[in-house]
Structure 1
Amino acid sequence: MRRPVKDNDDSARKISRRALVLGGAQLGFAGLLAWQMRKMQIEEADKFRLLAEENRINLRLLPPARGLIFDRNGVPIAENDQNYRVVIVREDAGDVAAVLDQLRKIIPLSDEDVARTLAETKRRVRFVPVTVADRLTWEDLSRVAVNAPALPGVRPEVGLSRSYPLGSDFAHVVGYVGPVSDYDLSKLDNPDPLLQIPEFQIGKSGVEARMEGVLRGRAGTSQIEVNAAGRVMRELSRDEGLSGRNIQLTIDEGLQNYVQARMFGESAACVVMEVETGDLKAVCSSPTFDPNLFVRGISVADYRMLTDNKYRPLANKSVQGVYPPGSTFKMVTALAALEAGVVGPEDTVWCPGYLSTAGRRFHCWKRGGHGHMNMHDSLVQSCDVYYYEVAQKVGIDKISAMARKLGIGVRHDIPMSAVAEGLAPTQSWKQTRRGEGWVIGDTINASIGQGFVLASPLQLAVMTARLAGGTDIAPRLVRAVDGVPQEIRVTGALDLNPAHLRAVRRAMTAVSNTRRGTGYRSRIVDDTMQMAGKSGTSQVRNITTAERARGVFRNEDLPWERRDHALFVSYAPTDRPQYAVSVVVEHGGGGSAAAAPVARDVLLRVMNGALPPLEAYPASQRDMIEEQQRELPLRDRAPKPPSSSRA
């Protein structure tokens, strides 16, 4: 049956509409494809050409240059040297062992190098580079670069490595850097991505560690094009980051070298401090070590030599070591008694050579006694019994308060490792820490710097500077950061009677410049550089009653480790104090014999700006001093073997 014409027209119209819709959709889709193809082929051609060639874009961190460290005169102490190295990325290398076998044909690699690299690549994330070899020659680095297409994942690099041009002189002050360890990372909650860079160096001790945030800087970034073989095709962009800031210390490089040379062969420490500014011009600990050994990875043999040395070269005795200050503490007891009003400068105490109290006998160093002693004479001749008596009147708490006022028992804020607090004990301290009550014998021992009292050479230098200048000056180690001067920390005069301070200074001057003074042999005869000081000898063993009865052994007759520590504190010139010095010679015997000559030489060196002038010494000593100066192992001279006189 034929369909009506009307039905045929409706059907034709529907088909035409559908065709138009379908055709339009097809045309739109074709246009979209054409637009996308144009975009891909023209606008994004470079991008897809890289993908087609199996290339990719890598983002790499660029380690910043570490800040430099200088002495007060601009002499470099810590520098950055170029370091040629080769690294490998496990993600790009594939078979790391096979790549290393190929690399061994190009540069020398030991079995240990290969084993270490394989272990490190397994331990690290796949995309983190691992150092295969460093400190390569330019020729070795060039051979690796030329053969890079055949060494997937291997990358030659030029980096920076820390070096210490002055060697051992600043080892205890500046410290050293080393590669980031797992232990370092474990101490950080959110470690800087920089720390994942292979062989990235951070401060491990000293100024390097304490001022890590200032010295490290900020990482830069580099976008590079790398092909399937791991070869760098080109650098697309680069942000250099920010270098670490430079630090200028207060230390004088020439003085530091002289002090280290002067203490050569001893287990000793010395601190030199400016009285007015608090600047530390020398901070020395002997013996010392070469920090470059740690930067490059110290050998087991070298490390064992340092740790087995009974003089403990790795220990920083100047700020970390604490010692009974001995008679150098007597100025503290004297001032505490004067300020408390329990004794006057001219009041006397009878010294028969001992004090009997609480069923015990406390001896003076002079067996026959000193007779009548006032404060001045007790300091000049270092009478112990005088201080036994006055300490009982003033009490330990006031003595300890005076010690802290003068800088003992205080952790001074300088950027060095393990700065000790020392100890100015009180009654409550003993009860809290030892669960025991304070007894009169504790006060008597503390009055002469024995018993529980402990002080570092740094604290003794601060004490001496405060006595000499009459201010509460604090030590300063950093002079400037990126040229910006750092604060001098002094809030004003000490809250002490000026007349009492003058009395103590007169006595310290007499110690070194009158015949009965314990430091007279180490006097300075040039009036413009005259020295004031105080000797100290601290016992490291108990002397029994039986030993006293048969005669106390001389220090030189005892094993080295049982001898007394020798101490001396001093300042100069006496009429306008500029420098304070403290010296501790471990197991050196008497302070006047072992430590005072070092302090005198150091003061003359810092005041003269060069080797101490012979005219400043007593005439009878000049030939000996001249010979001593010729034998000093200064930096431009080869060191001589250490003396065995105290070994």
Structure 2
Amino acid sequence: MRRTQKDTEESSRSITRRGLLLTGAMGAMVAALGIRMRYLQIDQAEEFRLLAEENRVNVRLIPPTRGLIQDRNGKLIAGNEQNYRVVITREDAGDVALVLNRLSGLIPMTAEELQSTLDESMRNSPFVPVIVKDRLSWQDFSKVGINAPALPGVVPEVGLSRIYPLGYDFAHIVGYVGAVSKKDLEEQVNPDPVLRLPKFQIGKIGSERWMEETLRGHAGTRRIEVNSVGRVMRELERKEGTPGSDIRLTMDADLQNFAQARLGEESAAVVVMDVTNGDLLCCASAPSFNPNLFVRGISHTDYAMLTGNDHRPLANKAVSGAYPPGSTFKMVTALAALEAGVIDMGYTVHCPGYLEFGGRRFHCHSRGGHGRVGLTKSLEKSCDVFYYDIAQKVGIDKMAEMGRRLGLGIRHDLEMSAITEGIMPDRAWKQARHAQDWRIGDTINASIGQGYVLASPLQLAVMTARIASGKAVRPRLVRMIDGKELPVPEAEPLGLEPRHLQGMRQGMWDVVNAPGGTARSNRIVDPTMVLAGKTGTSQVRNITAAERASGVISNSQLPWNRRDHALYVGYAPYDNPRYAISVVVEHGSGGSTTAAPIARDVILAALGGGRPPLAAYPQDQRGRISTMLEELPLRDPETGMLSDSDRV
């Protein structure tokens, strides 16, 4: 069949369109290739020239600047200082041992340090820098920089290192940082890449650990040009990371320093808490330690001295120490009995010096007894028999319920390490823990804070704050993050009868201010600062019937670790409570003689905002107190430095 002229013309036009499309596509490809060739040959010529000359472009992480930790008034507790250091990269160094040997001729390095660096470089990826030496002097740092061409893979760097300018004062609260360990990485589900940098430091204990992610920030990156021998030629690009957040605690650095100094050589703890909002102003544990030693790498000798000390300087006794609360627990027993309705405010008991039950005598601390005592007098005189009696009426379960309502037997959630829950026992607890039934004798012992009952100084401060305020005040440690005030939840009422709480407060006032009170010698005479409190002495050993018959051995005649613990809780001012305090002195013998004087001095420092005012002490004590205060190794409130005579 012959094609018509029309068909021929249509076919011709179709072929022409295809040709044009093919020609256009080919032209586009050629243009794209030309543009790409121009990009590679002209725009990227410099980078390819560097690669051709055996140079490389490496991407390295920039550690973020760690956030600062400050006290409530902005005083620096944990900061960062400039640190001159030298790092080596195995991939760039080639023969690491040879390079390290050369380096040791420029800066002081022991054989142990050389071997440790060599081992670490072999353990890590070849392109990961390893810190050879840090905290170099400027002179040694300069030597390395001048001789860099002869030290392939060695780079002098200026970094930041953690420093704790207030040293011992906040060691237990803030803690310290240390190099990331294998265990630290294993605890992370998806570890931040910056944690894999050799000797990168993270929080190990205290607030440094519990607020690690907030303080750490996010790493930056830098692209650097290095030549064939590993020497850094120049920095091509730098992207700064995000610094960690600054944290402001509720703590008062001056009060904390005063408390630490006042505890002196004792193995003890002090907690001061704001009754109105739960702010912890002081949380001191003695003896303390220098956290800067851990940042720099503590020696075996120094660590052995800390772990071998029977006063346990590494333990935060304020939150992790669990002690029999002794007579400071009597308010719990009394409130439990009052709220249960088994006694009223006018209830009295005759105290002959002991209570007989089940063929056993439970003794009062006063061998001759107190005669007939009511509620407030039982606190004032710290009569044990009164509490033996009412405990049998109310029972341990009600006592335990009241203890927990007042903050005992509860782990308070704070940004610190090793916070104990203590023990607030009841029938179910003993069955679960010891597979034994609870006995009346257990209740009698618990009524005066002995037996199974254990509480920390933090818990005792919370208990006191709740009695003083009538509210379920919760302790808090962090006040601000990056300048933003954290909200303080409104404390709920405890739901206790107001007149019962007032009875406890009156009894605590009598303890300190009544003529026969156990803490009378530790009263405050300034009417605007009147102190109310309760002394406590808890036994750490059993006293046999034979010893009682022949005469109880005095604490002064016993080895230190067998003496009674000394305790004190209190609050001030009495008529307008602001601060609650608890003091525990391990093996301090007596609450009234050892713990109460410390508590008075510290709470006066809190109320006065500085050194305790002498006018607040009884006239006949002012000379002795003045001498004692002058001898305390306190920091200068402006500079934060100790005097030359007190600096260690």
Fold in common (TM above 0.5): yes
Letter of the 1:280 partner, please give it. Answer: L
User: Could you tell me whether the CA contact under 8 Å between 1:472 and 1:492 is conserved in 2?
Assistant: yes
Task: Find 2:643's aligned residue among 631, 637, 642.
Answer: 637
Q: CA deviation at 1:138?
A: 2.2
Change (3 A) 1:614 1:391: same
Q: CA deviation at 1:141?
A: 2.1
Residue matched to 1:233: 233
Residue matched to 2:120: 120
Measured in 2, the distance between the counterparts of 1:462 and 1:278 equals 8
Deviations 1:96-115 (A, max 9, x none): 00111121222222212111
Deviations 1:365-394 (A, max 9, x none): 111111111111111100001101100110
User: Could you tell me whether the CA contact under 8 Å between 1:265 and 1:641 is conserved in 2?
Assistant: no
Letter of the 1:129 partner, please give it. Answer: P
What is the total number of aligned residue pairs between the two structures? 616
Q: CA deviation at 1:490?
A: 3.6
Residue matched to 1:532: 532
Residue matched to 1:552: 552
Letter of the 1:72 partner, please give it. Answer: R
Residue matched to 1:565: 565
- CA RMSD of the aligned region, Å? 1.9
Residue matched to 1:269: 269
Residue matched to 1:340: 340
Change (3 A) 1:41 1:512: same
Moved over 6 A (4+): 28-37, 639-642
Once the two structures are superposed, the pairs formed by residues 142-221 of structure 1 within 5 Å of their partners are 142-221=142-221
Measured in 2, the distance between the counterparts of 1:412 and 1:66 equals 27
Deviations 1:87-134 (A, max 9, x none): 111111111001111212222222121111111112112222111100
User: Could you tell me whether the CA contact under 8 Å between 1:537 and 1:590 is conserved in 2?
Assistant: yes
Measured in 2, the distance between the counterparts of 1:281 and 1:558 equals 35
Change (3 A) 1:611 1:286: same
Segment drifting more, 369-378 vs 185-194: 185-194
Measured in 1, the distance between the counterparts of 2:463 and 2:526 equals 25
Once the two structures are superposed, the pairs formed by residues 60-459 of structure 1 within 5 Å of their partners are 60-459=60-459
Residue matched to 1:583: 583
Q: Tell me, what secondary structure is at the counterpart of 1:54?
A: coil
Residue matched to 2:14: none
Residue matched to 1:20: none
Letter of the 1:166 partner, please give it. Answer: L
Q: CA deviation at 1:38?
A: 5.4
User: Could you tell me whether the CA contact under 8 Å between 2:256 and 2:283 is conserved in 1?
Assistant: yes
User: Could you tell me whether the CA contact under 8 Å between 2:85 and 2:131 is conserved in 1?
Assistant: yes
Unaligned ranges ≥5, structure 2: 1-27, 636-641
Q: CA deviation at 1:190?
A: 2.0
Deviations 1:132-188 (A, max 9, x none): 100012232222223222211111111100001111111111111111122222222
Letter of the 1:496 partner, please give it. Answer: L
Segment drifting more, 624-633 vs 60-69: 624-633
Change (3 A) 1:601 1:39: closer
Measured in 2, the distance between the counterparts of 1:320 and 1:514 equals 34
Change (3 A) 1:639 1:489: farther
Q: CA deviation at 1:29?
A: 13
Residue matched to 1:25: none
Q: CA deviation at 1:474?
A: 0.4
Q: Tell me, what secondary structure is at the counterpart of 2:479?
A: strand
Q: CA deviation at 1:202?
A: 0.5
Q: Tell me, what secondary structure is at the counterpart of 1:516?
A: coil
User: Could you tell me whether the CA contact under 8 Å between 1:77 and 1:165 is conserved in 2?
Assistant: yes
Measured in 2, the distance between the counterparts of 1:503 and 1:110 equals 68
Segment drifting more, 133-142 vs 448-457: 133-142
User: Could you tell me whether the CA contact under 8 Å between 1:175 and 1:206 is conserved in 2?
Assistant: yes
Change (3 A) 1:322 1:100: same
Measured in 1, the distance between the counterparts of 2:644 and 2:381 equals 40
Q: CA deviation at 1:218?
A: 0.3
Change (3 A) 1:611 1:455: same
Measured in 2, the distance between the counterparts of 1:427 and 1:638 equals 57
Measured in 2, the distance between the counterparts of 1:64 and 1:304 equals 33
Change (3 A) 1:441 1:639: farther
Measured in 1, the distance between the counterparts of 2:144 and 2:647 equals 45
Measured in 2, the distance between the counterparts of 1:381 and 1:450 equals 18
Once the two structures are superposed, the pairs formed by residues 614-629 of structure 1 within 5 Å of their partners are 614-629=614-629
Q: CA deviation at 1:349?
A: 1.0
User: Could you tell me whether the CA contact under 8 Å between 2:474 and 2:491 is conserved in 1?
Assistant: no
Q: CA deviation at 1:476?
A: 1.0
User: Could you tell me whether the CA contact under 8 Å between 2:466 and 2:472 is conserved in 1?
Assistant: yes
Letter of the 1:622 partner, please give it. Answer: R
Residue matched to 2:11: none
Change (3 A) 1:227 1:521: same
Letter of the 1:286 partner, please give it. Answer: A
Residue matched to 1:7: none
Measured in 1, the distance between the counterparts of 2:512 and 2:144 equals 67
Letter of the 1:585 partner, please give it. Answer: V
Measured in 1, the distance between the counterparts of 2:172 and 2:33 equals 71
User: Could you tell me whether the CA contact under 8 Å between 2:92 and 2:231 is conserved in 1?
Assistant: no
Unaligned ranges ≥5, structure 1: 1-27, 643-647
Q: CA deviation at 1:431?
A: 0.2
Measured in 1, the distance between the counterparts of 2:380 and 2:591 equals 14
Letter of the 1:379 partner, please give it. Answer: L
User: Could you tell me whether the CA contact under 8 Å between 1:473 and 1:489 is conserved in 2?
Assistant: no
Letter of the 1:282 partner, please give it. Answer: C
Q: Tell me, what secondary structure is at the counterpart of 2:134?
A: strand
Question: Percent of pairs identical after alignment?
Answer: 61
User: Could you tell me whether the CA contact under 8 Å between 2:333 and 2:387 is conserved in 1?
Assistant: yes
Letter of the 1:161 partner, please give it. Answer: S
Q: CA deviation at 1:617?
A: 1.1
User: Could you tell me whether the CA contact under 8 Å between 1:264 and 1:633 is conserved in 2?
Assistant: no
Letter of the 2:324 partner, please give it. Answer: P
Q: CA deviation at 1:609?
A: 1.4
Letter of the 1:46 partner, please give it. Answer: E
Once the two structures are superposed, the pairs formed by residues 601-616 of structure 1 within 5 Å of their partners are 601-616=601-616
Q: CA deviation at 1:435?
A: 0.6
Change (3 A) 1:30 1:337: closer
Measured in 2, the distance between the counterparts of 1:60 and 1:42 equals 27
Letter of the 1:303 partner, please give it. Answer: Y
Measured in 1, the distance between the counterparts of 2:306 and 2:463 equals 32
